[in-house]
Amino acid sequence: MLEAGVGIGTIDLNVKMLKAVPLEQDLVAEGRVINISRSLGVSEASLRDADGTLLAHATATCAILRQQSG
């Protein structure tokens, strides 16, 4: 969602592990941007097993670092 060359710095990262992650099983990871402004981005992600059971959930807030022109 950001143009090439824009950096980010993590301000806050929360990960909640809800169940054990099974080995040798297909998993579905899904992430989405909740909000993005000129200087901050907020996102969330989930990890589910093939049956749709939620295994983990995460949120992140990141600073958007644009090059100063001039």
Q: What is the pLDDT of residues 33-65, one digit of tens each?
A: 999 999 999 999 999 999 999 999 999 999 999
Adjacent-strand bridge partners of 33:
43
Domain limits of the chain? 7-65
Residue 32: which pLDDT band, with cuts at 50, 70 and 90? very high
**Is the pLDDT at 70 greater than 80, yes or no?**
no
Confirm or reject CATH 3.40.190.10 for domain 7-65, answering yes or no: no
Of how many residues is the chain composed?
70
Looking at 18-68, which runs of residues are DSSP E strands? 27-36, 40-49, 54-65
Q: Give the per-residue pLDDT at 69.
A: 65
pTM, two decimal places: 0.82
pLDDT digits (tens, 9 = 90+) for 5-31: 899 999 999 999 999 999 999 999 999
